[in-house]
Amino acid sequence: MLFSTLLLWVGTVAALSTKGLYDLIERRLPGHANDFSFSLDDGYRSGGHDTRFLNDTYSISTTENGTIAITGNSLSGLATGLHRYLTDFARVDIHWFIGSRLDQAAKHLPRPKTTTSGSSIVPWRYHFNTVTFSYTAAFWTWEDWELELDWMALRGINLPLAWVGAEKLLVEVFQEMGLSDTKITSFLSGPAFQAWNRFGNVQDSWGGELPSSWISSQFDLQKKILVRMTDLGMVPILPAFTGFVPRAFPAVYPNASVINGSAWEGFDADYTNVTFLEPFDPLFAKMQELYIHKQVEAYGNITRFWTLDQHNENDPQSGDLSYLKNTTLNTWKGLKAADPSAVWVMQGWLFYSNIDFWTEERVKAYLSGVEKDEDMLVLDLFSESQPQWQRTKGYFGKPWIWCQLHNYGANMGLYGQVENITVDAIASLHSETPPIGFGLTPEGQEGNEIVYDLLLAQAWDASPISTKKYFQDWVQARYGPAKVPRDLETAWDILRTSVYNNMNLTSNAVPKSILELSPNITGLVNRVGHHPTALNYAPDTLIVAWKHYLAASHSSPALWANPAYQHDAVDITRQVLANRFLSLYTDAITAYHTFNASNSPTVYATLLEKKDEMLTVLHTLDALLSTLPQFSLSTWLNSAQSWAGNDTAEAAFFDYDARNQITWWGPGGEIADYASKGWGGLVGGYYAPRWEVFFEYVTVAGKWNDTAVKGALKAFESGWQTQGEGGKLNEEKVGGVREVVKRVVGLVG
């Protein structure tokens, strides 16, 4: 039965309550809830308003009785006001990996002496890429999600993607459509690859079968996530039925209009060519109705935003303009039949990734199938580097969001574009087709937290933010509440103008360290584009920043007990060592070619010296990363295995799934090293052995043979996938962060 009433996503009883904010304070600042009062003013966003075009507001003041009063017109506005108080007055914050530092605030919280106010400049602040749920959050627990959701709320995010547990109700739809459990299970992919199953890129699971216990436990987790999202004033975007179905679907419905999608990234047909039920078929609308109504029944009327991507990195069957228009027209009709108030949310990534197919006229035809512009919301996924909103004239009238992608595969290099995400984002608001939101769309949430914070802060400032002042304030809140040493501010200011200020958009994403790539004598350095290895700053500049960073602890030794300082010491030192490895590799390859041409003993000695130095860097780096759990492979693997409980077979499957994503990415290494990581245990137990294989060939004149080297590397890599050769973690603790950093100083100079 169709439901016809508008989903009043903020007009529910839960959204009218500020209890979620008091609960947040009790979680992170126990005993201080009575220090605050939250109130919604007369401009509160009720369900009777068109909330897409109303900006959020807050004000912070001190009442006569000494209470810290935060008022605003939305829960998200109140949460942002709370964050402003915590960072500007209490000088504390919540962070990725480090966790909450709010408990470091003064026992007697400071009271504002004047009123501080703020207003968003865009109605929506979006968060997540569909693939973030696999690259970063695949094995997250409720504890992980609690931290994430508090981080999101405080930063004003009010429109997050909510993909967790999507398979449970989808399985029920398939069952009601007459598909057997065996056929359904053979369609679903493992936890680390579910995003691409949802996108229709891959199907089935290599390395084992997705356990039913996983499907159920993720559904239970999703229910908790959604309650917390709504309690904190967020409007979750839930998944709609895309049309991707198990390959057995045509056997049950022989007259159904289905096509097989194209192969993706060189995967074998068993794992790709996903079956697609075309939206023209009446079964599509039926399944859409089933899926959406099951979610409303399970979660409540909490949203009208539905994510739906049908052509992610796979071209439509036809480029005919009428075909493209009819595809979206029927998809839209099916969505609106299931939820008359539905807004279709889609990633605009396809228009960039497959730009040769998506000409301007095809984009226009495709988008025109949604006859009411307000019924679609497009995420301009890579606005800071490859914006598509300009060439598509603001998506031809469809509302859209300016997004920062920044990161592929959860890679961990230091990187940012602080000018682009301030100046360019504001400039878009003054265009003829301005966005209605700013958003974060990283493939993985692995580092460089400051650039994500910066864009979210820009959503509350009508002028481009002064990055110099922003970095100063951010550093104070990160390491505070005590005043930070000048050297710390200097270090971050150098990073701001170098590492975090790339303006060369031929290399436009987080750089990958070559030590994480399959070793070769060519093709590793100065890569640009999708997975660059080229550095957009002088490595010596990073050394200067690093030395200032460490010098801060000379005047303030207590910094070494600060989790934020420890984390960043490891992260910056990691990049220093990665850059050192790059320099040594360049020298080694020069020596290799010279030796092969001259057979000079002196040059050979240089080659051996560079080999030893490179391996020393790898093992030192491994020791450094192994000092903190957030830089450790075991954290990722243990998290994966924990979902199996006492079931050893399931634990083995989850372990393989987790290992495969960060190394081979596919049963045969189809996109190997795409999701590589700078993690202790992975550097020492996987990357270092590969480079040892490499040097077995490089240090013997005339021995290099591409086929032989690749074969030797593949043999090692294959064994590592299933805890064979190289499967044991190399995470020997060799001292704390401070001790290992001292070793690096001696190594690098």
Report how far residue 417's alpha carbon sits from residue 415's, in angstroms, rounded to the nearest whole number.
7
From residue 151, alpha-carbon distances to 148, 318, 655 in Å are 5, 43, 28
| pLDDT surpasses 60 at 388 | yes
Model confidence at 50, pLDDT cuts 50, 70, 90, reads: very low
CA angle 242, 248, 254 (to 5 degrees): 90
Which residue in the block uniquely carries the two structure tokens 């967790």? Answer: 164
Beta-strand ranges (E) seen in 173-251 are 238-239, 244-245
Q: Mean pLDDT across the stretch 252-271?
A: 95
| pLDDT surpasses 80 at 404 | yes
pLDDT at 733: 54
Looking at the chain, the whole-number percentage of residues with pLDDT higher than 90 is: 92
Model confidence at 300, pLDDT cuts 50, 70, 90, reads: very high
68-72 and 36-40 as β-strands: parallel, antiparallel, unpaired?
parallel
Q: What six digits make up the tokens of 430?
A: 């003054």
Give residue-wise pLDDT tens across range 568-604: 999 999 999 999 999 999 999 999 999 999 999 999 9
Q: What is the pTM of this model?
A: 0.96
Q: What is the CATH number of domain 19-119?
A: 3.30.379.10
Give me the residue spans of the domains in the chain. Answer: 19-119, 124-468, 570-748
pLDDT at 722: 87
| pLDDT surpasses 70 at 645 | yes
Report how far residue 363's alpha carbon sits from residue 523's, in angstroms, rounded to the nearest whole number.
35
What's the chain's length in residues? 749
Give residue-wise pLDDT tens across range 691-704: 999 999 999 878 88
- Any idea which fold 570-748 has? Four Helix Bundle (Hemerythrin (Met), subunit A) (1.20.120)
| pLDDT surpasses 50 at 47 | no
Q: Residues 343, 348, 354, 360: is their CA dihedral positive or negative?
A: positive
Contacts for 259 with CB less than 8 Å, ≥ 6 apart = 275, 276, 278, 317
User: 124-468 sits in which CATH class?
Assistant: alpha beta
pLDDT at 42: 72
pLDDT at 5: 30
DSSP 128-185: --TTHHHHTSTT--HHHHHHHHHHHHHTT--EEB--TTHHHHHHHHHHHTT--HHHHH
Give residue-wise pLDDT tens across range 75-93: 999 999 999 999 999 999 9
pLDDT at 734: 54
Looking at the chain, the whole-number percentage of residues with pLDDT higher than 70 is: 95
From residue 70, alpha-carbon distances to 20, 113, 118 in Å are 14, 14, 11
